[in-house]
Every structure is written in structure tokens, then in C-alpha cells.
């Protein structure tokens, strides 16, 4: 993807680690307008390429996890309530919708888990993010997208671009 949109052969790309370990293009490429992010899990790899900071996450929604315990420990009270208000057969899916969006935001900001999961809340309808308490680098001017990637995965994207952003989450294969 970098070669298609960035104009260099695949073997010529070089990468550096950002302050919190996030991979980035080597500044010698002189491409400050090109950002990427990767995510992978069992059965799926996802890549996002954008002209702004971008984060992507993908998770298997059928993975058995102690979602209630994890949410109670790491999510905000608002998110825990959202999960608990979901029909029993949708709680795990709701959990992974929240988780993928949270991780996409943390990755887009270049902070990863340096930004605690409970430092911000995700809303699903409409899809959005709010920091608790508000931060100077909040998510105003960001766009968010989320989709089922087949029957078994949830995918979320966070992009630093004022809505309505002209970005596409597909094609999914």
C-alpha cells in the first residue's frame, strides 16, 4: 500500500519508532502527509493508510473473554452501563465494538496503552469519543468508523480529519 500511494518501491521504505513505540515512516522519506497503522488477530490483518494520523484495530468478536470483568476494570462507568443495557446475546459484540474503537483512538494518537482505557468514553450511536476529563488533544476534529469485517471480526478506524471525512473502511475481504 505504501508503494502504491507513496511512490517508492517496497524495499526502499524505512521506518522509525515514535516516542511511544509506534512505527512511523523514516523522516528522510520527506512524507509527513503519509500515515499508516496496522492491526492483526487470528484470521485477519487490517491496514489503514491516510494523510492524517490514523489508528485501526480489529478483534475477533467470537473470542471468549471475561468481557464483563475486563469492562468493569478498565472501561468507564458509561461504557459498562452501555454493555449491561445491551441484550444478553449482544453484550460480547457491544464489548468488542467499544474495545476496537478505544484501541483505534489510542493508536491514532500514537499513545497506545500509555493512554488508559478509562481516560475516555466511546459512544456507539452516534459513534464518537469523549475524554473524561476533557483533554487539550481531545477528539474534536476526528472521524470514526466501524464495521463488521465478515462474520467473525469487528474493525474500527480513528482518523484525525474533521467530519465529514472522506474515508472508506472497505473493501473488506
pLDDT in tens, 66-125: 788 889 888 999 999 999 999 988 899 999 999 999 999 989 888 777 777 888 888 888
Per-residue pLDDT at 170: 52
Total domains present in the chain: 1
164 occurs within a structural domain:
no
46 phi, psi to nearest 5 deg: -125, 145
Model confidence at 173, in pLDDT bands (50, 70, 90)? very low
167 occurs within a structural domain:
no
Q: What is the CATH number of the domain that holds 124?
A: 3.90.470.20
Domain limits at 154? 2-159
Model confidence at 138, in pLDDT bands (50, 70, 90)? low
Integer Cα distance of 60 and 44 in angstroms: 9
168 occurs within a structural domain:
no
Per-residue pLDDT at 77: 92
173 occurs within a structural domain:
no
46 occurs within a structural domain:
yes
pTM of the model: 0.86
pLDDT in tens, 23-81: 899 999 999 889 999 999 988 999 999 888 899 999 998 877 778 888 988 899 999 99
Q: Answer yes or no: is pLDDT of 172 > 50.
A: no
96 occurs within a structural domain:
yes
Centre a 10 Å sphere on the Cβ of residue 14 and count the other Cβ atoms it contains.
Answer: 11
Using CB atoms within 10 Å of the CB of residue 56, give its burial: 0 to 12 exposed, 13 to 18 middle, 19+ buried.
Answer: buried
Average pLDDT over residues 134-139: 57
Q: Between residues 112 and 150, which one has the greater pLDDT?
A: 150
Amino acid at each position: 500500500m505504501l508503494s502504491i500511494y507513496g511512490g517508492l518501491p517496497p524495499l526502499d521504505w524505512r521506518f522509525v519508532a515514535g516516542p511511544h513505540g509506534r512505527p512511523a515512516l523514516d523522516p528522510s522519506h520527506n512524507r509527513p502527509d503519509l500515515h499508516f497503522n496496522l492491526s492483526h488477530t487470528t484470521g485477519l490483518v487490517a491496514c489503514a493508510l491516510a494523510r492524517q494520523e490514523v489508528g485501526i484495530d480489529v478483534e475477533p468478536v467470537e473470542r471468549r473473554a471475561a468481557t464483563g470483568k475486563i469492562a468493569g476494570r478498565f472501561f468507564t462507568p458509561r461504557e459498562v452501563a452501555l454493555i449491561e443495557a445491551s441484550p444478553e446475546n449482544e453484550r460480547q459484540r457491544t464489548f468488542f465494538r467499544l474495545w476496537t474503537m478505544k484501541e483505534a483512538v489510542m493508536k491514532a494518537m500514537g499513545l497506545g496503552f500509555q493512554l488508559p482505557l478509562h481516560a475516555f468514553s466511546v459512544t456507539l450511536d452516534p459513534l464518537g469519543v469523549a475524554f473524561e476529563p476533557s483533554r487539550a488533544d481531545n477528539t474534536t476534529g476526528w472521524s470514526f468508523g466501524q464495521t463488521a469485517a465478515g462474520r467473525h471480526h469487528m474493525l474500527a478506524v480513528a482518523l484525525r480529519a474533521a467530519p465529514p471525512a472522506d474515508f472508506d473502511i472497505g473493501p473488506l475481504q
